Amino acid sequence: MNEDTKIPLHLEETIQHLPFSATLAMNELIAEKEKSGKQKILHMGFGEAALPLHPLLKNALVESAAYTKYAPVLGLPELRQAIAGFLSRTRKITVNANQIVVGPGSKSMLYALFRIFEGDALIPAPSWVSYAPAVRMAGKKVVYVQTDSKDNHRLTTENLNKALKKAKEEGADPRILIINSPHCPVGVMFEPVDVKMIAEWAKKHNMALISDEIYAELAFGWRKHVSPAVYYPEGTIITGGISKTLSAGGWRLGYACLPDTPAGKKAIKAMQAIGSEIWASAASPIQKAAVVAFAPNASIDHYLHQAALLFGYTTTKMYQIFKDLGVPCPRPAGGFYLYPDFAPWRPVLLKRGVRTGKELSQYLLDDWGIASVPAPEFGEDPHTLRIRLSTNKLCEPEKGTSAKKREEFLWNLLHTVENKDFNPDLPVLKFAQERWTKVILNLNEKTKQ
Ligand code: PLP
């Protein structure tokens, strides 16, 4: 027996290798760097929507503060009803309250889903940092579906078939496929034909299709969000929440919508059993207040639209800056991410000792004060020179602005974003443009030497 295993509190094998979530780790690293005050940091490492909270939600939470009882494990009936109504209105599907499970964030819902369903999981590469660890924590194998950067990381029948074949050769048994649109980290959205193809592929292979739709209401407008549940209602599970769309990540409120079938009902019971032993219920006052987020309300709908336009404005501007600088980057369609590729500068980066995505991110942070998350964290090959940039902070006012003034600044942006001549002075966006221009010009210069 290894000496180490005799120590009390010895960690279980899978957990020993489970790293701290890359995005949260980056956030903490930046906080430290900023505290040291040595360099002004361009914070593009952490994807957190932080627009001002809608006043209806704020008031609803104040009113529900005294609701201190445990809520039912599956969620408050009125909230489950409101979410079912919301999905029926926005996804062109018919959903009833019994299909909904509410929990503390959709992250916990995703873990529970990976835990309850049989088989291993197919995960696109790249995809959100937390899918693979959640699958592994649920005791399953991760099978990556390799996508092509030249094809904007689309899922195709070819790359899905290839992943399935490889999985079987390696002794894995994938029975779950997870997809995400608008996409984190790439920022793209599925074309409707691709959604149909993916749904039909999952159906043909008898897979549970988990559709992470947390950014769905943040589509910028040039591409429509389509849920695969339209084509494969009996096998699709939709997950979502209010963290991104309503800038309420800290409320920790998410949901899963399971199929209205006998198998779906069994799955709901399994979710209830897991929930009853882990989180008991999402916080009751938050659930009560969140009814407002999903019930039909013109003011909330308008806020969602404005938030999508604002993120669309800043993300598209940043995309254009990269395009003008000659940096390959997929055109963003929703959410608040960009996924630029620095492969054209590989030789010059190599001269600086940058061989991997992780080293690229470190170089950008150390030499240029730019925070990012490298491609390998999203399941890509370690040598991939792509990074995820979060654009959510590009609409922030100057650092040091008081909380009150910051809120006014952001409300003003939300209220004017629909104007034809919307062209605000955005200091962080300007700073991002300046700094990225310096980075690329420097790399170009060094390439010539
Ligand atoms: N899915 C994706 C793609 C995300 O980016 C996030 C948050 O970063 C989540 C799910 C989880 O969100 P929450 O647990 O706050 O609902």
How far is ligand 1, taken at its centre, from the CA of residue 418, in Å?
27
Residue 392 CB–ligand 1 contact under 6 Å: no
47 lines ligand 1 (CB under 6 A): yes
* pLDDT tens-place string over residues 58-82: 999 999 999 999 999 999 999 999 9
Check if the beta carbon of residue 253 is closer than 8 Å to that of residue 292: no
User: Which has more confidence, 253 or 26?
Assistant: 253
Range of lowest pLDDT (18-22, 273-277, 365-369, 401-405)? 18-22
Mean pLDDT for the stretch of residues 144-172: 96
Q: How many CA atoms lie within 13 A of 431 on its CB side?
A: 19
| Residue whose CA lies nearest to ligand 1 atom number 11 | 107
Strands 337-338 and 387-390: antiparallel
Distance (angstroms) between ligand 1 centre and the Cα of 415 equals: 26
User: Given this model, what pLDDT does residue 203 score?
Assistant: 98
Look over the chain and give the mean of its residue pLDDT values, rounded to a whole number: 95
Please report how the helices 284-294 and 55-64 are oriented relative to each other, as an axis angle in degrees rounded to 10.
Answer: 150
In the chain, the percentage of residues whose pLDDT exceeds 70 is: 98
* pLDDT surpasses 80 at 95: yes
CA–CA separation, 117 vs 206, rounded Å?
A: 12
* Number of C-beta neighbours around residue 115 at 10 A: 17
Question: What tokens does 270 get?
Answer: 């399994």
CB of 389 within 8 A of CB of 361? no
Checking if the pLDDT of 38 tops 90, the result is no
What is the rounded distance in angstroms from the CA atom of residue 136 to the CA atom of residue 95? 31
214 C-alpha to ligand 1 centroid (Å): 6
Pocket-testing residue among 108, 211, 243, ligand 1, by greatest number of atoms within 8 A of Cβ: 243
- Of residues 83 and 4, the one with the higher pLDDT is 83
Q: Residue 4: which pLDDT band, with cuts at 50, 70 and 90?
A: low
Q: How far is the CA of 447 from the centre of ligand 1 (A)?
A: 39
pLDDT for 412 beyond 60: yes
- State in Å, rounded, how far the first CA of the chain is from the last one: 57
Output the pLDDT for position 3.
58
Q: Render pLDDT for 365-387 as a digit per residue (tens, 0 to 9).
A: 999 999 999 999 999 999 999 99
75 lines ligand 1 (CB under 6 A): no
Mean pLDDT of 408-420: 98
| Rounded distance between C-alpha atoms, residue 309 and residue 314, angstroms | 9
Q: Is 81 in the pocket of ligand 1 (CB under 6 A)?
A: no
For the Cβ of 21 lying below 6 angstroms from any atom of ligand 1, the answer is: no
Cβ of residue 243 lying under 6 Å from some atom of ligand 1:
yes
221-274 pLDDT, tens per residue?
999 999 999 999 999 999 999 999 999 999 999 999 999 999 999 999 999 999
User: Taking residues 159-186, what's their average pLDDT?
Assistant: 97
- pLDDT tens-digit map of 426-440: 999 999 999 999 999
Which residues on neighbouring strands pair with residue 388, listed in sequence order?
373
Residue to probe by mutation, ligand 1, list 102, 114, 130, most atoms within 8 Å of CB:
130
| Tokens representing residue 320 in the block | 């254009």
pLDDT band at 15 (very low <50, low <70, confident <90, very high): confident
Q: Are 432 and 44 in contact (CB under 8 A)?
A: yes
> With a 6 A CB cut-off, is 211 part of the ligand 1 pocket?
no
Half-sphere exposure of 153 (CA within 13 A, CB side): 31
Residue 213 reports pLDDT greater than 70:
yes
Pick the more confident residue, 31 or 359: 359
| pLDDT for position 34 | 77
Mean pLDDT (whole number) for 27-36: 76
Rounded average pLDDT over 32-56: 88
d(CA 155, CA 161): 10
Give 211 Cα–ligand 1 centroid separation in angstroms. 12
List, in sequence order, every residue forming a beta bridge with 257; answer none if it has no partner.
100, 238
What is the whole-number distance in angstroms between the Cα of residue 106 and the centre of ligand 1?
A: 6
How do residues 312-323 score in pLDDT, each as one tens digit? Answer: 999 999 999 999
Which pLDDT score is estimated for 5? 60
Chain centroid, CA 383 distance in Å? 23
Place 46 in a pLDDT band, splitting at 50, 70 and 90.
Answer: confident
| SS3 call for 282 | coil
